Amino acid sequence: MTQSAAAQKPPATPRRLDPEDAQTALAEVQERLRRQQLVADLVHRQEEGDAKAPLVEDLVHRQHEAELKTLLDGLHPADIAFILESLPKDERQAIWKLVSPEHDADVLLEVEDWVRESLIEAMDRQDLVAATESMDADELADLAPDLPPDVVAEVQKGLTEEERAQLLEAMGYPEDSVGAIMDFEMVRVREDVTLEVVLRYLRRLHELPDHTDQIFVVDRQDKLQGILPLSRLLVSEPETEVRAVMNSDFLTLNPLDSDADAAGAFERYDLVSAPVMDDQGRLIGRVTIADVVDVMREDSQEQALSRAGLQEEDIFAPVTTALRNRAPWLLFNLCTAATASFVASQFEGTVSQIVILAFLMSIVAGIGGNSGNQTMTLIIRALAMGRITGRNLWQLVKRELFVTLLVGLCGSVVAALFAWVISHSLSIALVMMAAMICNMLVGASVGVLVPMVRARFGKDPAMGSSVLLTFATDSLGFFIFLGLATIFLL
């Protein structure tokens, strides 16, 4: 029976875990920083000949730092990470210096990548080594790309042969794979021992690895034979052998599986942890619900940003960085908007004769965009969940078009009534009704095709999708509405 050394660390001191505490603490930190800056400004305004001014400033500065340090020491590392992410870079660095060294490792693991880089830059080599040498192999692998190579090499010297092999293994897997998120903390037992032996072994441990809901049963070659749920261990007779109560039917993951697929499996089967096996059937790690929640959160954030054509960035990043991130898709959006305007300009004669069309065509474009956005959201989510296959694709397309047609028929009646009220023309109302239905079908088609085509070529299906959808529904919406008006109203 074995367990990684990291799981034998003494239990950590309980910390505050209320999200409202983080918000309150952030407000307190910002207020103390404001007061500190106010005192500094007042001191600088005093006469240069006042020898006591620097002493007063230093005294107040130390007092504020002591208060901030006391506040930070009472927070959970996740709350400290939240505060650091919510401050401009200069203030962030000032607060980071006040964080207790014992929490450095946990905070570095909690913060977003774009904040972690700036924190690591502010630390000297000795502090970095001290913060990372206590990390598990899987945690160190997460941080390794952001750490200086000499720091990683120094930390590796303090690892055991097993931990060093685990570190190299974890660093060798692709970023979005199960191998990159698995950890090596787990409890293993043999199938030929009794439950009483297992219980005695567990009692000798300081604590169980986080999210331990099952014990893994392996043979002498570390090949996984089954799993022993803790619930079954506790209610079974102590004299019973492990093989008699273990589960032989269980879900396993491969280190090269997609982390998104693993997250889907956890959601589908309500898992707390799952073993990771190599191609030879050997148990090499496990994935826990905590790892999966992180994957889901990151995927959700990336998807939300991708739809607007953005990448993750520091909200306090320099203007030049923000421009590089946002300008490309905004410029593309400018081109698409210009195209839509060009299409509308080609019907200048129609609009000049029937001015009311200029007020109505924005409704056609807007409703088409909103309808397409609903379809696109459903498709992107279904792709992320792995629910779209070659067999059900055409069925899904037909369903979305049919639903959009029904919704369009209902909505177009309301739109036509509105057009008739303000124009007193039945012809304009009918054109409005037809254009609205057609543009909603365009939006639904684009909402299905854009994510599917991008996914087919291995691209992020959400990247820039809203920009492309707006381009289609605006340009074609204007063309359809004004084209029908030209044909039937002039």
pLDDT tens for 249-289 read 999 999 999 998 899 899 889 999 999 999 999 999 999 99
Q: Are strands 273-277 and 283-288 parallel, antiparallel or unpaired?
A: antiparallel
Question: Is 401 a residue whose pLDDT tops 80?
Answer: yes
In a domain, 158, yes or no: no
- Mean of pLDDT over the chain: 84
Among residues 427, 423, 438, 424, the alpha carbon closest in space to that of 358 is found at 423
Claim to verify: residue 249 and residue 203 sit in the same structural domain = yes
What value, to the nearest 5°, has the Cα angle with vertex 409 and ends 425 and 394? 140
Could you list the beta-strand ranges (E) of 165-321: 187-189, 214-218, 224-229, 273-277, 283-288
Cα gap 200→212, rounded to integer Å: 17
Claim to verify: residue 35 and residue 111 sit in the same structural domain = yes
State which H helix or E strand residue 3 sits in: strand 2-3
Cα gap 373→381, rounded to integer Å: 12
Claim to verify: residue 329 and residue 360 sit in the same structural domain = yes
Three-class SS of residue 20? helix
Start-to-end CA distance of the chain, whole Å, equals 87
Helices (H) and strands (E) in the chain, counts: 22, 6
Q: How many domains does the chain have?
A: 3
Claim to verify: residue 437 and residue 457 sit in the same structural domain = yes
Claim to verify: residue 332 and residue 302 sit in the same structural domain = no
pLDDT, one tens digit per residue, over 45-84 is 665 555 555 666 677 778 878 888 888 888 889 899 999 9
Task: Out of 281, 307, 333, pick the residue that ends a domain.
Answer: 307
pLDDT, one tens digit per residue, over 379-389 is 887 887 677 87
pLDDT confidence bin for 3, thresholds 50/70/90: very low
Claim to verify: residue 401 and residue 254 sit in the same structural domain = no
Three-class SS of residue 475? helix
- pLDDT of amino acid 275: 96
In a domain, 132, yes or no: no
Q: What are all long-range contacts of 30-37, with beta carbons under 8 Å and residues at least 24 apart? A: 30/87, 32/64, 32/67, 32/68, 32/71, 33/68, 33/91, 33/94, 33/95, 35/64, 36/60, 36/61, 36/64
Claim to verify: residue 428 and residue 452 sit in the same structural domain = yes
DSSP summary character for residue 2: E
- Cα 414 to the chain's mean position, in Å? 40
Q: Higher pLDDT residue, 326 or 179? A: 179
pLDDT, one tens digit per residue, over 448-466 is 888 888 888 877 777 767 7
Query: 439 near 480, Cβ under 8 Å?
Result: yes
pLDDT confidence bin for 218, thresholds 50/70/90: very high
21 CB neighbour count, 10 Å cutoff: 16
Both structure tokens of 39:
């005192």
pLDDT, one tens digit per residue, over 80-118 is 999 998 888 888 998 999 999 888 989 998 888 888 888
User: What's the Cα-to-Cα distance from 59 to each of 65, 72, 95, 100, 201, rounded to whole Å?
Assistant: 10, 20, 18, 21, 55
Question: Is 17 a residue whose pLDDT tops 70?
Answer: no
Query: 170 near 255, Cβ under 8 Å?
Result: no
Among residues 300, 324, 328, 299, the alpha carbon closest in space to that of 313 is found at 324
The values of phi and psi at residue 69, to 5°, are -65, -40
CATH number at 25 reads: 1.10.220
**Residues of the chain with pLDDT > 70: what percent?**
87
Query: 474 near 369, Cβ under 8 Å?
Result: yes
Both structure tokens of 244:
């008699």
pLDDT confidence bin for 336, thresholds 50/70/90: confident
Claim to verify: residue 19 and residue 95 sit in the same structural domain = yes
Q: Higher pLDDT residue, 343 or 17? A: 343
- Segment among 133-147, 200-214, 312-326 with least mean pLDDT: 312-326
Among residues 163, 166, 244, the alpha carbon closest in space to that of 198 is found at 244
**Structural domain boundaries, residue 226:** 187-307
Claim to verify: residue 277 and residue 369 sit in the same structural domain = no
State which H helix or E strand residue 198 sits in: helix 195-203
pTM greater than the 0.85 cutoff: no
In a domain, 11, yes or no: yes
In a domain, 340, yes or no: yes
Among residues 180, 118, 124, the alpha carbon closest in space to that of 154 is found at 124
